[in-house]
Amino acid sequence: MVITVCVAVYFIGANYLIHNLDQKLDIQTSSQSSQNDQSSKTQQSESNSTKDTQDWKLTLVNQNNLIPENYTIEVTELNNGQAIDKRAYPYLQEMMDDARAAGLSPIICSSYRSMEKQTRLFDEQVKGLQNQGKDYVDAVAEAKTAVAYPGTSEHQLGLAVDIVSEDYQLLDEKQEETPEYIWLSKNCSKYGFIVRYPNGKTDITGVIYEPWHFRYVGKEAAQEIMSKGICLEEYLEGSSSSSSAKS
């Protein structure tokens, strides 16, 4: 499977112009699956009493929760070379269709990444830093601030997409000023998506504010998360105890 993914070079990406990909999202080929035939059981480090932590839509992947070793999904490939978990695809398509019907021009510039792809992106980041004179240990540490360490990227779940405005394709905070982001952040929960790395939650998520990274969690969770202004970690921990996530 060949998937073209725009490298989300978060920090050095200030001047990184994303390729203007074909915006049409109709299915090109359907149902590509990973070779591993083991079923995908999600694993959560936190358990709670009311939320179904085995729910595939709520799988938590971050620096402390690696993607499950045998995680397997079937993806739907989009015409622009992007791909998403086929279970989330209809909701993404509907959201993009409605955004376009509202006169907007959102572009999906990054989506599913295999472990191999994420590893390659990370290794390229490390090499680039080494070429700038950094030793390996420092290069790895710095690379982790820009590209998720393999196994810790939500993009490996197939449930995350980076969406930018056709008129502003940089992955930086100014993305939040685009009409596309304003519409998406207001409406995404109706389709089951959340702004996964909100402003002010970096110490919980471990990821900088990313007003372009949307994650599918299902409508119920999305509406609670977006209406309360919390992040996925806080949502998942919310019912397990009275204490909130670390601040």
Considering CB under 5 A, how many residues would be counted as binding Zn ion? 2
User: One of 210, 233, 234, 237 is an active-site residue; which one?
Assistant: 210
Q: Does residue 215 belong to the site contacting Zn ion (CB under 5 A)?
A: no
Angle formed by the axes of helices 179-187 and 89-101, nearest 10°: 130
Question: CA angle at residue 231 from 104 to 229, to 5 degrees?
Answer: 70
Q: Rounded to the nearest whole angstrom, what is the least distance from the CB of residue 196 to Zn ion in the complex?
A: 8
Q: Which of residues 138-167 bind Zn ion (CB under 5 A)?
A: 162
Among the listed ranges 64-72, 82-90, 209-217, 225-233, the one in contact with Zn ion (CB under 5 A) is: 209-217
Q: For residues 51 and 143, which CB has a smaller minimum distance to Zn ion in the complex?
A: 143
**Torsion angle (degrees, nearest 10) of CA 126, 209, 216, 212:** -80
- Give CA–CA dist 201/50, Å, rounded: 23
Would you state the torsion angle of the CA atoms of residues 43, 48, 53, 59, taken in this order, to the nearest 10 degrees?
A: -70
Residue placing its CB nearer to Zn ion in the complex, 162 or 234: 162
State the nearest-atom distance from the C-beta of 162 to Zn ion, in Å.
Answer: 4
The reply on whether position 213 binds Zn ion by CB under 5 A is yes
CA 188 to chain centre: 14
Give the separation between CA 42 and CA 56, rounded to whole angstroms: 6
State the helix-helix crossing angle for 136-143 and 115-131, rounded to 10 degrees: 130
Q: Which is nearer to Zn ion, 77 or 162 (CB)?
A: 162
Q: Which stretch binds Zn ion (CB under 5 A): 81-89, 198-206, 208-216, 236-244?
A: 208-216
- In angstroms, what is the minimal distance from the CB of 10 to Zn ion? 8
Q: Is 172 in the site for Zn ion (CB under 5 A)?
A: no
166 counts as catalytic: no
Span between the terminal Cα atoms of the chain, in Å: 41
Nearest residue to Zn ion on Cβ basis: 213
Least distance between Zn ion and beta carbon 67 (Å): 14
Residue 157 and residue 217 in contact, taking contact as beta carbons nearer than 8 Å: no
Q: Which residue has the tokens 């990973």?
A: 34
Q: How far apart are CA 145 and CA 175, in angstroms?
A: 19
Closer CB to Zn ion, 169 or 238, in the complex: 169
Give min distance, CB of 136 to Zn ion, in A.
26
Q: Would you name the residues annotated as active-site residues?
A: 210
- Interacting residues toward Zn ion by CB under 5 A: 162, 213
